[in-house]
Amino acid sequence: MQEETQTLWTRDFTIITAGSVVSMFGNAMSGFAMSLMVLDYTQSTLLYAVYLAVFTIPQIIMPIVSGAILDRFSRRRTIYTLDFISSALYLLASYVLSKGMFSFPVFAVYVFLIGSIQSIYMVAYQSFYPLLITKGNYARAYSVSSVLETFSMVMVPAATFAYKRVGISPLLAVNAVCFFIAAVMETRIADGYEKYIELQKSTKDEAHKGRMMLRDIREGFSYLKQEKGLMAVAVYFTFSALTYGATSVLTLPWFRSRYNNGEYVFMIVSGMAMVGRAIGGALHYRIRIPKERKFQIAFFVYIATAVLEGIYLYLPAAGGALFCFISGVLGVTSYTIRVSATQAYVPDEKKGRFNGAFNMLNTCGSLAGELTAGWLALYFSSRGVIAGYMFVCMIAAIAIMGRYRKEVSAIYNVEQ
């Protein structure tokens, strides 16, 4: 009876899911096309790394600052307001580029602004999304989120095809429309979910707002320090982000240098990871992992995916695709366990600060990976560099998650 009354697909959960799908599809299409544009214009792996780094840099400061603010203000309004702003910015970029006015320094400033908006949006979305999930449905909700995010990647081959046919400008215009539609949909979400705002008003100090914000920022890190399990998760995923930063810089250029039409080979091989994530996510929507096994499974996945992703570039394309598929199935398993567990564990009034601190640490790791990998690729083979980063990630999993097994298990091994 409880299963029937606590349905996942409430009106508001459906709205935010549909809105996120629209914006994700547009972003996936335009984001990959912009990567191709930068490579075509600059013909430089190093400048490509700079482009990614410029997008990443604002995500160091913005998440922790916005996390503190969003624990006191409406995350719902923040989400749709930022989507409206993003729509306007992509429309402007579409117009400028349609006139052939490309300048890498100006484009870098634009990317920095987009990165700032996206980093604030992610904290707001990650902290608001759990409030719309009914009790007992956290794992199912995040499996849905993962599957939809995976399906948005089908826009990558579409983006490549469209970019080669019509250029970047029309794709950015489509993304502007997607963000506008998403924003309009998100305005329809009902008020009443953000009860944490009333709770936070009791600590509000109108005369010293700056000092209050600094205190809230400190509290985000203080909360992590107090919660050893959450701290272990955050630190390990900083190392995981390091490897992601490295692969995001090196993988696409490596495929383009090794194969004719390498971007298509890249899409096929890496796309198998998306297929694996989609299948794995669909399974997790229907099958519940026994709560006492969640940490054990996640710990295995952290090590196994590091091994698989460290060696797949040394295999023929078919073998690499198979390893990516397996990595995708495993990766969505650990993702569902980790996100549903941490978001269920952290109190609503602290979600913004936790997600802000978590995202900031992840961004630091990703930025370090992007910059150092781009530099190392000047002296070593790209796949050798990636293998080295994956080895570091595997050691981090053993050293951090293994050491704090008891504390992390207390978070993971719970029915959500």
Q: Are 191 and 76 in contact (CB under 8 A)?
A: yes
**Structure confidence at residue 398 (pLDDT):** 96
Distance, in Å, from the CA atom of 407 to the CA atom of 416, rounded to the nearest integer, reads: 17
DSSP conformation class of 145: H
State the pLDDT confidence band at 1, using cuts at 50, 70 and 90. Answer: very low
Q: How many CB atoms lie within 10 A of CB 40?
A: 10
Pick the residue with more confidence: 73 or 226? 226
Give the model confidence (pLDDT) of 15-59 as tens digits: 999 988 888 888 777 887 888 888 887 777 777 778 878 887 887
State the pLDDT confidence band at 298, using cuts at 50, 70 and 90. Answer: very high
**Structure confidence at residue 204 (pLDDT):** 52
Q: What's the mean pLDDT in 77-85? A: 93
* pTM of structure: 0.76
The closest alpha carbon to 387, from 246, 274, 282, 213, belongs to 246
Distance, in Å, from the CA atom of 178 to the CA atom of 272, rounded to the nearest integer, reads: 26
Q: Which residues are CB-neighbours of 216 under 8 A, at least 6 positions away?
A: 68, 69, 71, 72, 353
The closest alpha carbon to 50, from 120, 105, 114, belongs to 105
Dihedral, CA atoms, 34, 239, 223, 200, nearest 10 degrees?
A: 10
DSSP conformation class of 64: H
State the pLDDT confidence band at 400, using cuts at 50, 70 and 90. Answer: very high
Q: How many CB atoms lie within 10 A of CB 342?
A: 25
Question: Which of 64-68, 118-122, 164-168, 359-363 shows the lowest per-residue confidence on average (mean pLDDT)?
Answer: 64-68
**Structure confidence at residue 199 (pLDDT):** 56
Distance, in Å, from the CA atom of 89 to the CA atom of 197, rounded to the nearest integer, reads: 30
Distance, in Å, from the CA atom of 219 to the CA atom of 197, rounded to the nearest integer, reads: 16
**Structure confidence at residue 4 (pLDDT):** 44
State the chain's mean pLDDT as an integer.
Answer: 85
At residue 363, what is the residue type? Answer: T
DSSP conformation class of 191: S
